[in-house]
Amino acid sequence: MVMTLTGDPTQAERPVREYLAALEETNDPKASTRTLSLNDPAATWTAAPGGPAFFAYSTNYLIDLEAGIILDVEASAVNKAAEVEATRTMIDRVEETFGLKPERLVGDTNYGSAAMLGWLVDEKDIAPHVPVFDKSERTDGTFGRSDFTYDAENNRYICPAGKSLKPAWRSKQKNPYRYRASQLDCQACPLKAQCCPNMANRQIDRSPHESARDVARAITKTDAYKQSRKERKKVEMLFAHLKRILKMDKLRLRGFSNAKDEFLLAATAQNLRRMAKRLAINEPVTQLIPA
């Protein structure tokens, strides 16, 4: 429910009116009142697996894995797209503010979308130590995309029967990355039942970011990637510490920018604690000599 104020606002009423106007602007008329917080509409209605639903914001950290220091914090809505966008914002901001750019990004499958990998590899030159989000593999026993070899020189795929799948010119406007086998080849092919049993010929869609995905796939086979998976636990530990030790399981203030401020303060406390520990290890212990 949004209250409406009429008449000329006094100086004290003006911020209230601005707040209510901002609420109206963010109001989604299609949103269900059950999933829309009436006193904090920017919060997301969410739930942990098997747990009760609640309204929340997501806190996103950019961490220097080696030092365990939080370099940046960004609040976001609780969904994958918003969290990935927050990571892009933090990477750009840390580069602009401190001149620091990560050599690698360690994350979960949320960061393995084609668009994110393309941005990391092609635009930022950051090695993606993330699992590739890939739905091209099939579960019905027929050939998945990994059974086809991409021939970059000739811009074609080679199928398991050794035939070519070339860019499908007819659908070029709609999807310039669609490759098709010849109908004649497929109709006469002994592997057709394993390849495209319900289609006249096989087609494959290639992502415009496929080369970046190939870079990520190659990294997943390295020892450095295994090490990154282990180091990722440090991130989980920081979030666990936030809830269990700092008891930050609820926000005291409402609104997106207030959530951001609270997350920033919490991260600062975590950094100070971390730095105090590191300095305590490096500094010689002061001896107390009784007088």
Positions touching ligand SF4 (CB under 6 A) are 159-161, 163, 181, 185-186, 189, 191-192, 195-196, 202
Cβ within 8 Å of residue 209, ≥6 positions away: 114, 115, 117, 118, 121, 122
Q: How far apart are CB 194 and ligand SF4 at their closest, in Å?
A: 7
Name the amino acid, one letter, at 177.
Y
The residue behind tokens 């917080």 is 37
Report the distance separating Cα 90 and Cα 75, nearest Å. Answer: 10
| Sign of the dihedral defined by the CA atoms of residues 233, 239, 244, 246, in that order | positive
User: Cα dist. 190→24, 40, 185, 203, 237 in Å?
Assistant: 63, 61, 10, 17, 53
50 or 141: whose CB is closer to ligand SF4? 141
Q: How far apart are CB 210 and ligand SF4 at their closest, in Å?
A: 18
86 or 186: whose CB is closer to ligand SF4? 186
Report whether 212 contacts 120 (CB < 8 A). Answer: yes
Q: How far apart are CB 144 and ligand SF4 at their closest, in Å?
A: 12
110 or 182: whose CB is closer to ligand SF4? 182
44 or 142: whose CB is closer to ligand SF4? 142
114 or 161: whose CB is closer to ligand SF4? 161
Closest CA to 264 of 287, 248, 288, 244: 248
Q: How far apart are CB 236 and ligand SF4 at their closest, in Å?
A: 43
126 or 191: whose CB is closer to ligand SF4? 191
Tokens of 144: 């998945």
Report the distance separating Cα 165 and Cα 112, nearest Å. Answer: 26
Q: How far apart are CB 157 and ligand SF4 at their closest, in Å?
A: 9
163 or 213: whose CB is closer to ligand SF4? 163
Q: How far apart are CB 200 and ligand SF4 at their closest, in Å?
A: 10
Q: How far apart are CB 133 and ligand SF4 at their closest, in Å?
A: 25
Cβ within 8 Å of residue 192, ≥6 positions away: 186
Report the distance separating Cα 24 and Cα 119, nearest Å. Answer: 34
